[in-house]
């Protein structure tokens, strides 16, 4: 049986880690801001699929006290990947550990493999509306599935991981790595940045005809970039599906909008700069999303000035 560490006990790590712990898996949580609270009160998940409460969890204030585990689920924002994340991982990985990067963007696994050449890495693409609403308290509003793209993991271990998640009530599926990353970008690149640039929510963007068309055009830019990079399974039908899915969602503020609202660094590098640069390498331009990237950089600079 695999053991798990959760790095980033927020909306994502709290939910998936909580599901695994509820199913009886050995799970260790790194909890900085609410360590004392969860140590005494545990973890509560209000979920559209059924609420649950874990009165006692294995919580740690520092990674230095955590045991080495077979699987490390990273739910941190990618702005911490270059400096903070390597220091968090080093004490808890062993020579056969798997790291699942449940993060948004393109190029994440490439950079992590350079930092840890022997590490087995999996891309985690979560399709979930979830928020941390208080210490040790996660609100799971809708969806909740996760696609796993095998970047450098032994297939046998990957299948055990997949089964663990399924047994824990998580709708998990294996998808081709590059396809998985670009599929997630089809939704992330338009909605994360547009909700920030126009200071709004997903439902309002789609109710206005002008911004609805712009969102769709941006989705098609992402699909065009993916096609140029060899992901031929992505078509306009997927954009149509994402539009319909978002129409049916509760009004939602994506993670970048929440970062903007709370004056936290935004994930511009992996969500925008890297995919735009990767597409440009093969001669494909993303003009509407490049403009959005420039606007986001301006907005962040103003917040920091």
Which element (helix H / strand E) includes 66? none
Query: Cβ distance 299 to 196 under 8 Å?
Result: yes
d(CA 214, CA 68): 46
* Catalytic choice (184, 257, 280, 281): 184
Query: Cβ distance 38 to 9 under 8 Å?
Result: yes
Take residue 218 and report the two structure tokens written for it.
Answer: 């941006």
Chain-centre distance for alpha carbon 171: 15
Helix (H, G, I), strand (E, B) or coil at 205: helix
In the residue annotation, 184 being an active-site residue is answered as yes
d(CA 102, CA 245): 21
Which element (helix H / strand E) includes 176? none
Query: Cβ distance 166 to 172 under 8 Å?
Result: yes
Residues tagged active-site:
184
């Amino acid at each position: 049986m695999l053991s798990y560490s959760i790095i980033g006990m927020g909306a994502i790590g709290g939910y998936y880690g909580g599901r695994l712990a509820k199913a009886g898996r050995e799970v260790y949580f790194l909890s900085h801001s609410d360590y004392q609270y969860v140590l005494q009160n545990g973890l509560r998940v209000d979920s559209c699929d059924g609420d649950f409460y874990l009165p006692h969890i294995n919580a740690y204030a520092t990674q230095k006290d955590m045991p080495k585990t077979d699987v490390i689920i990273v739910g941190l924002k990618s702005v911490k990947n270059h400096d903070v994340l390597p220091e968090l991982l080093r004490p808890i990985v062993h020579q056969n550990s798997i790291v699942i990067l449940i993060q948004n963007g393109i190029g994440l696994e490439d950079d992590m493999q350079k930092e840890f050449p022997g590490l087995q890495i999996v891309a985690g693409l979560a399709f979930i509306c979830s928020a941390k609403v208080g210490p040790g308290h996660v609100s799971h509003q809708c969806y909740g599935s996760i696609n796993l793209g095998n970047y450098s993991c032994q297939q046998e271990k990957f299948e055990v991981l997949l089964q663990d998640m399924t047994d824990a009530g998580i709708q998990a599926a294996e998808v081709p790595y590059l396809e998985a990353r670009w599929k997630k970008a089809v939704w992330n690149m338009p909605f994360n940045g547009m909700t920030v640039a126009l200071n709004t929510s997903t439902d309002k963007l789609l109710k206005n005809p002008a911004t609805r068309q712009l969102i769709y055009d941006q989705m098609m830019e992402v699909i065009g970039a993916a096609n140029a990079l060899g992901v031929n399974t992505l078509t306009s039908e997927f954009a149509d599906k994402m539009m319909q899915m978002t129409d049916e969602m509760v009004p939602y503020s994506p993670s970048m909008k929440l970062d903007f609202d709370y004056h936290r660094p935004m994930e511009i590098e992996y969500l925008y700069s890297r995919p735009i640069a990767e597409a440009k390498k093969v001669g494909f331009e993303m003009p509407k999303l490049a403009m959005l990237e420039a606007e986001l950089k301006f907005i962040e600079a103003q917040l920091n000035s």
